[in-house]
Structure 1
Amino acid sequence: MTINIGETVFFGAARFCRIGAAIVLLGIAGCSSTNSSGPVPMADNAGPKDTGTFPNLNIPPKVANKQFTPAETNAKLAELKAAENGQGAKSGGGAASNQAALTDLAKKHGPQTLKQIEGKCDPALDPTCK
C-alpha cells in the first residue's frame, strides 16, 4: 500500500502541478526588479574614441625616456654582476657545503626545539631558562 501512495505522490499529476507552480513563482520573482531607472549612462569621455583614421604602424612610437647606449648597458650589467658575485661571496661557499651544514643543523635543531617547547630548557641554549 505504501508503494501505491508513493507512486501517486511522486509520479502522478500532482507532480506536474507542483512543477508548474514552482516555474510560475520563479518567473514572477525573476521579473520583479527594483531598478526602474533604466540603463546607467556612460560618461562622454569613457571608452575608445573613433578618430576616423587608422594608425600608421610605419612610424616608430615616441619613447618615454632616452635609451641606454651600449656602453651604459655594459656598465650597468657589470655593476649587477659585481653585486651578484658579492652576494655569493657572503654565503660562504657552494651548494655542497651549504647542504652539509643544513643537514647538520636539521639534526640538532629538532631536539633542541622540542626541549624548549616541552619546558626542558637548556641554559646553554636559552639564558633566560632556570
Structure 2
Amino acid sequence: MEPGQDLPVRRALFAEPPAPLDAAFRSSCDSPGDELRQISRAVVQCRILPPPDVAAFLLLQYDGALEAPTLVVQKETDQSDGSYVVELSYFAEVVQKSGNPRRIYFKQRDLDSLMDELLAATGGIAANT
C-alpha cells in the first residue's frame, strides 16, 4: 500500500457462517472476463478486467508492464469469539515492468455504500472502524 493511502475495507459481523453473502459474492462475479479466485481458505477474489480507458490510465499512471491491469474485489472471512468477521475490500492491481504486481487502493463512496448494503442484506452487522 502506498504511504498515506486509505485502505477501502468494509467490515461486518455475522452470528453464523455468512452463506448468503458467500453466494451473493460468487454470483456477482459472473460477467464476461470476470474470474473468481480462491486465494486461501479465508480469502476469495473477484478479478475484473477494467474498461480500456481505465486500463490505459492505470498502465500509464502506475508505470505498468504491457499486461492488462485488474480490478479486484476481495472477501476475507475470519472466525472470532464464536462469530464471523467479514471484510470486503477493493483495489486495482497493475503488473510492473519488474513482473511484480502493485496494488493501487482508491476510495469510492458509492462502492463502500454498496458493500455496506450487501453486508447488511445478507445478515451482517456493520463493524467499520
TM-score range, shorter chain: under 0.3
Q: Which one has the largest radius of gyration? A: 1
Compute the TM-score of the two structures, normalised by the length of structure 2: 0.18
Between 1 and 2, higher relative CO (CA 8 Å, sep ≥ 6) is seen in 2
More strand by share: 2
More helix by share: 1
